[in-house]
């Protein structure tokens, strides 16, 4: 699963929205104030981090992607800190100044890693004349050619009061728009590509959603009403639900092992989603990565980012889920990314109805030939045509899930034909592998692979193991 990481450096993302500074005062507390029943905190450390839309841009940059930020700040020390921190992280900033208003700042006082109080310094940016909205739209349009994806990070502070104009400009330029929404009136987001509300935000618009069926029904209607291509609903400890038009919903379980702080988790989700889409991946793969990233970031204190190394580690450790089970189009996108990184693609196929040690040894040997191992699996109907009426013993979903759990297997994909020749012709692996006593020229996909410069390899048959023999032995048992 390590090769599921997108080629993030090729991605350019424009982030527009409410920029703020997150400030943290840390110190011990050992007594209650004599002036009021509150703890006394002796401040020992003052820490600042970019927040809001700035944190989204920071998350994009942490992935290695190009991040450009468009926001509004005051003419004060907080704005200077923001510029310094963002420049150090490699974020290109276009920050307009508000007339006489402070940079939005959230000050949190913490002791023993527990937040005691939060103090907000802000004024609404939605008021007429606070900043030059025409200049903001112009700067937005100027930045569009350098980005593959646009993210609108709305915290309800007023920067995105004209969100509809920004969406129209981006779509005219052919750029998909991701929106992290705020409030209960989402009509201004109409025409965006994807929205990423949390469950509470969704319920504020569509009403209570007691279960997944309600999320799918109500969220689907909202998606269609707003003209979106997808709706990604984050559901805290219950994971995420991706609602795509004319496709089955994808429900992803939460990946967090320990939760220390959910601050900024939504920023990480939309940043990873946007960067993965900008790198050429589809909604399902991007959502899976965003889900993994959310599980990582809530294990950190305060607003935080996720690196490709952390994502890679999470994918390795999370190999017990079905993230390696792919549709054909998603597989092709991942293969293109892996090939772009110079990795060798190995592919094999079979029914794998009753997985045994012979299969495991064969797949391990195949994986050692390259960097990525793809296993194409016959669907249930094709197994019945090739085997007998009593087969398969295990349905396709179970067979694929078991294969995806093997360390040697990176991606598993189904096919419906009697042979995977058509699928192999799309993937065009560097190495096509089969086990047994086949002649390479007789293996389905030989012509397509060799014509593309690849090789067909026949591995030694693992003698003493076969599904048919195991079944016969089981039937003889008293």
List active site positions.
267
- CA dist 170 and 176 (Å) reads 7
Location of structure tokens 């379980």: 253
Location of structure tokens 């937005």: 140
DSSP strand pairing (240-244 vs 92-97): unpaired
Nearest CA among 267, 425, 290, 366 for reference residue 4: 290
- CA dist 255 and 258 (Å) reads 9
Compute the Cα dihedral for 468, 472, 473, 478 and give only its sign. Answer: positive
Task: Give the phi and the psi of residue 459 in degrees, each rounded to 5.
Answer: -90, 155
Structure tokens at 288: 């899976």
Contacts of 278 (CB under 8 A, 6+ apart): 10, 11, 12, 13, 65, 147, 148, 149
Location of structure tokens 């926001």: 71
């Amino acid at each position: 699963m390590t090769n599921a990481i997108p080629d993030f450096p090729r991605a350019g993302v424009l982030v527009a929205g409410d920029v703020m500074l997150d400030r943290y005062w840390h110190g011990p507390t050992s007594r209650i104030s004599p002036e009021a029943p509150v703890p006394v905190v002796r401040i020992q450390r003052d820490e600042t981090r970019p927040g809001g839309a700035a944190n989204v841009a920071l998350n994009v940059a942490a992935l290695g992607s190009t991040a450009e930020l468009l926001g509004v700040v005051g003419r004060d020390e907080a704005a200077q800190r923001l510029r310094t921190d963002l420049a150090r992280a490699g974020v290109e900033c276009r920050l307009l100044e508000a007339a006489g208003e402070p940079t939005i700042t959230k000050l949190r006082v913490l002791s023993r890693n527990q937040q005691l109080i939060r103090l907000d310094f802000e004024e609404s940016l939605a008021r007429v004349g606070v900043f030059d909205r025409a200049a903001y739209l112009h700067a937005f349009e100027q930045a569009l050619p350098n980005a593959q994806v646009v993210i609108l990070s709305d915290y309800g502070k007023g920067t995105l009061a004209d969100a509809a104009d920004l969406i129209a400009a981006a779509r005219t330029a052919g750029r998909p728009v991701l929106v992290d929404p705020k409030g209960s009136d989402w009509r201004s987001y109409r025409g965006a590509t994807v929205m990423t509300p949390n469950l509470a935000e969704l319920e504020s618009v569509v009403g209570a959603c007691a279960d997944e069926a309600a999320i799918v029904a109500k969220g689907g209607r909202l998606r269609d009403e707003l003209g979106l291509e997808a709706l990604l609903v984050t559901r805290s400890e219950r994971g995420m639900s991706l609602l795509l038009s004319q496709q089955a919903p994808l429900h992803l379980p939460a990946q967090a092992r320990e939760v220390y702080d959910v601050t900024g988790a939504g920023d990480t989700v939309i940043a990873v989603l946007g960067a993965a889409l900008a790198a050429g991946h589809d909604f399902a793969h991007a959502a899976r990565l965003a889900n993994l990233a959310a599980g990582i970031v809530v294990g950190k204190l305060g607003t935080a980012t996720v690196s490709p190394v952390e994502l890679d580690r999470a994918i390795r450790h999370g190999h017990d889920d079905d993230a390696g089970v792919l549709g054909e189009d998603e597989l092709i996108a991942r293969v293109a990314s892996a090939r772009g990184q110079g990795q060798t693609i190995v592919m094999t196929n079979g029914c794998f109805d009753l997985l045994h040690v012979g299969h495991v040894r064969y797949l391990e040997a195949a994986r050692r030939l390259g960097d990525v191992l793809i296993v194409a699996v016959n669907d249930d109907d094709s197994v019945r045509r090739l085997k007998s009426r009593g087969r398969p013993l295990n349905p396709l979903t179970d067979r694929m899930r078991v294969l995806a759990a093997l360390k040697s297997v990176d991606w598993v994909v189904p096919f419906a034909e009697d042979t995977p020749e058509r699928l192999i012709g799309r993937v065009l692996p560097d190495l096509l592998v089969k086990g047994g006593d086949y002649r390479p020229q007789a293996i389905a996909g030989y012509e397509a692979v060799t014509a593309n410069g690849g090789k067909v390899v026949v591995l030694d048959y693992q003698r003493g193991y076969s599904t048919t023999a195991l079944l016969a032995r089981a039937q003889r048992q008293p």
